[in-house]
Each structure stands twice: as C-alpha cells, then as structure tokens.
A = this chain, B = another copy of it.
Amino acid sequence: MKVLFLGDVVGEAGRETSRIAIGRLRQKAQIDFVVVNGENAAGGNGITPKITYELLRYGADVITLGDHAWDQREIVPFLADEPRLLRPLNFPPNTPGAGSIVVQGNGKKLGVLCALGRTFMTPQTDNPFLTVRPVLEAIRRETPCILVDFHSEATSEKIAFGRYLDGQVSAVVGTHTHVQTADGKILPGGTAYLTDAGFCGAHDSVIGRDVAPVIQRYVTILPQRFGLATKGLQADGVLLTLDDLSGRALEIEPIQLAI
C-alpha cells in the first residue's frame, strides 16, 4: 500500500497547501491512505472541529496532533467524538480522545499512532517508549501496517524512538520542528524512518510565521505578534510504500511539493 504523510499543516495557507498537494500526488500515484499532522491548522494554534472536517474533506484519513493539541478549547470534548483525530497517546489514562486508530479502505488496514516526545517539550507527558507498547500490541493484532507520528524536538529522542520501534511498525516519521530532515531511510528491521517531515504552508517564513517579528523577538526578546506567513506555499511530507502482508516498508520518498 501507499501512504502519504504530511507534516504539520500551518494555518489557512497550510490547509490550502495540503488540499492541493493531496490532489496532485493522488494523480501521480495510487495512494491508499493519507495522514496529516494538524496541530497548527487553526491559525497556527491547534485545530477546531470545523477544520478537522475540512482536512478530512481534503482527503486526510487520519489527523495527528502534537504539543499544540489543546490550543483550541472546543477540541477537548470533540476528540471523544471524532476517532480520526488523534491526540498524542502518552497523555494520562483519562485524557479525552485516543492516540491511535486503525483505518481501512481498498480492503487494506493501516494503524496510525501519534506520540509526543519529552525532551525540550511541554507538556510533560508519560514516557512514550513505555506507553506505546500496549497500544502497539493491540494494533498489531489487527494489521502489521502501522505508521507512527513521533512529535518531538530532540533528534536523539526521535532516532532512538525509530530504532526502538524498528521491525515493529512500518514507519516512524517525526514532526514538530517544521523543517524536513535529509535522513529518510529504511532501518535494518524494515521500518521506514525520517527524523522530521517538515510542514505544509508558507515556507517564505520562519517555520510558517512572518519573518520580521520572529527576528525582532530574538533581537529584542520583547513579545511580538507572530502573524502567519502567506508566501512560498509548499507541502512537506513522505510517501511510503509498504508491503501489505508483512507491514515492512519498501520505500520512503520525501516530499517537498511547491504549490
């Protein structure tokens, strides 16, 4: 099967970028599932129910989140109602929503998990290395094809997570830094790995935000309004080819699609 994963969708520009990218990539290849990180889809900060449906309409089968999961308060009750929207799995046991799902289509099944790193990250979640275990075991009973979005800052933690899950999932793809890394590979155990997928939105920016106020912030260390940028639309992500039967990754192709 082919799975398209798109990095953090940032604001309206990111949503439009993802819409066009999904359409174009579908014309070039038969894509079975689309997974999109939507943690910045609502003006850069979290996601709303309305925007969740918008991304699903654009073709996303599953939407993952990250440290910005809870930026929009209306999402807390909504998470319980919409299983295709995943918050990181390593929140406390009673947290609304789920951190994983198995979706199906074309007679195929894909498990998707979303976890949050802990190094240089807030909030302080439970250990992703430990909490991912039982979730993974449950999903593996349904399908060997599993994609993990590891939303995390430190390269050390991301690579360790990829190596840790090598041979047990089809792919570990990092998000959060909004900059795609150049280390896409298939690990020895058959798991596709990329430290960071990048982001979808206006790349003539500082990770999606207007350049000038971000610079001003670093120069003056005074608060600034960080408006979203609008130019240089680009969709970052990966296109994964998985062996349906074994779940092994056959190919990981990085995507940087200018719109």
Contacts and interface: CB of A to CB of B under 8 A. Distances in A.
Interface of A: 70-71, 73, 76, 91-95, 118-120, 123-127, 129-130, 153-157, 159-161, 163-164, 177-183, 195-196, 198, 206-207, 209, 211, 214-215, 217-223, 254, 256
Contacts of A155: 177-179, 207
Contacts of A119: 124
A185 to B, nearest CB: 9
Contact of A130 (B129, B206, B219): B219
B153 A120 contact: yes
Nearest to A159: B206
Contact of A124 (B93, B127, B159): B127
A119 to B, nearest CB: 8
Contacts of A182: 179-182, 198, 254, 256
A131 to B, nearest CB: 10
A198 to B, nearest CB: 7
Number of copies: 4
A222 B180 contact: no
A124 B122 CA distance: 11
Q: Give the residue among A157, A182, A254 with the most B Cβ atoms within 10 A.
A: A182
A221 to B, nearest CB: 4
A214 to B, nearest CB: 5
8 contacts: A93-B130, A95-B220, A119-B124, A127-B219, A130-B219, A156-B214, A160-B217, A180-B181
Contacts of A153: 120, 153-154
Nearest to A208: B156
A127 B126 contact: yes
Given A124-B127, A127-B218, A182-B198, 8 more contacts: A124-B221, A126-B127, A154-B177, A156-B206, A160-B214, A160-B217, A164-B215, A179-B183
A197 B224 CA distance: 30
The 6 closest A-B pairs by CB, nearest first: A182-B182, A123-B221, A120-B120, A180-B182, A155-B179, A155-B177
